[in-house]
Amino acid sequence: MSVQTTLNKLLASFPAFPEKRAGFLLLIDPDKYDEPTLLKLVEDATAFGATAILIGGSTMISNRLDEYIRHIKSVSPLPVIIFPGSVVQVSREADAILYLSLVSGRNPEYLIGHHVIAAPLIQQLELEPISTAYLLIESGRKTAVEFMSNSSPIPRHKPEIAAAHALAAEYLGMKLVYLEAGSGADYSVPEEMISMVSKTISVPLIVGGGLRTPDEVNRKVIAGANFIVVGNAFEHRHDKIYLQEMIAATSLSRKIEQVSR
């Protein structure tokens, strides 16, 4: 019997992949928005074809996660998935949580330690954990993830190292691989690396960090990204057309000419 989990829902967008359309994951850090702006962004992203909402942040001082998720769900049918910056970012209101293991690092706390602390709570809240290999990729300046996790990123010009990490994670049973340049990164994950990793693994590949233009999003999809994550760019630019173009850029055929202006 197949269970309709959030992971299955994400994977259900795969039929689009043979035509090379990646999923679009809108990342929201509730600390960065006032609530009306946040809800408008979610509504617009839903209308423009986003796949799911990721919610979280590397610090996230707001303790209103439950409330935010309830409000997001009141304006959008999309799955809400926690993208935790720490073990306190859990909520029974979410559909799932990315159960991230920072496999690019060698800090045991981020490989297994925090997971042991969070697991009983996740079970108690009946939150679906989606086992995800999280690979931090060098992106110019030191990122918040790098600093907070006290781990080194994979050098950006070493795609074969990223591919070996991703394959090891798949062999360990992880369901998704996430190549992360870091929020607001100067340089996004290089296409050469995305291409090599996507050809090496058979689980879906998520790419995020520092994506600011539709062209850039489109290049990552062409290179092999199955899901694109964008957060920071929308914190700096509240523009409906821009949001629509960023989401449309996940399609290889890029129907941007159809975007109404």
Site residues (vs ligand 1GP, CB under 6 A):
27, 180, 183-185, 208-211, 229-233
Joined together, the tokens standing for residue 241 give: 């057309």
Question: Which CB, 189 or 201, lies closer to ligand 1GP?
Answer: 189
CA dist., res. 121 & res. 47, Å (int) = 33
Looking at the Cβ atoms of 4 and 140, the one nearer to ligand 1GP is: 140
**Nearest residue to ligand 1GP, using CB?**
208
Backbone angles phi, psi at 72, to 5 degrees: -60, -40
Of 191, 162, 187, give the one whose Cα is nearest residue 177. 162
User: Which tokens belong to 72?
Assistant: 């997001």
Nearer to ligand 1GP by Cβ, of 124 and 239: the residue is 239
Residue 76 or 183 with smaller CB distance to ligand 1GP: 183
Token couple for 135: 């690979």
In the bound complex, what is the minimum distance in angstroms from residue 86's beta carbon to ligand 1GP?
Answer: 13
Helix (H, G, I), strand (E, B) or coil at 106: coil
Q: Output b/e per residue, 164-191; b: 16+ Cβ within 10 A.
A: ebbbebbeeebbbbbbbbbbbbeebbbb
Q: Residue 49 or 184: which CB sits closer to ligand 1GP?
A: 184
Closer of 27 and 96 to ligand 1GP (Cβ): 27
Nearer to ligand 1GP, 68 or 178 (CB): 178
Compute the least distance from the CB of residue 243 to ligand 1GP, in Å. Answer: 13
* DSSP code at position 257: G
Q: What is the DSSP letter of 172?
A: T
The alpha-helical segments, DSSP class H, found in the chain are: 6-12, 35-47, 65-75, 108, 114-124, 144-149, 159-171, 191-200, 214-223, 232-236, 240-248
What are the backbone dihedrals phi and psi of residue 128, each rounded to the nearest 5 degrees, phi first?
-80, 120
Q: What angle do CA 81, 74, 208 make, to 5 degrees?
A: 30
Minimum separation from the CB atom of position 34 to ligand 1GP (A): 18
Q: How far is the CB of 209 from ligand 1GP (least distance, A)?
A: 4
Min dist. Cβ of residue 256 to ligand 1GP (A) = 20
Which CB, 208 or 214, lies closer to ligand 1GP? 208
- Are 47 and 96 in contact by the 8 Å Cβ rule? The answer is no
Name 164's Cβ contacts closer than 8 Å, sequence gap at least 6: 200
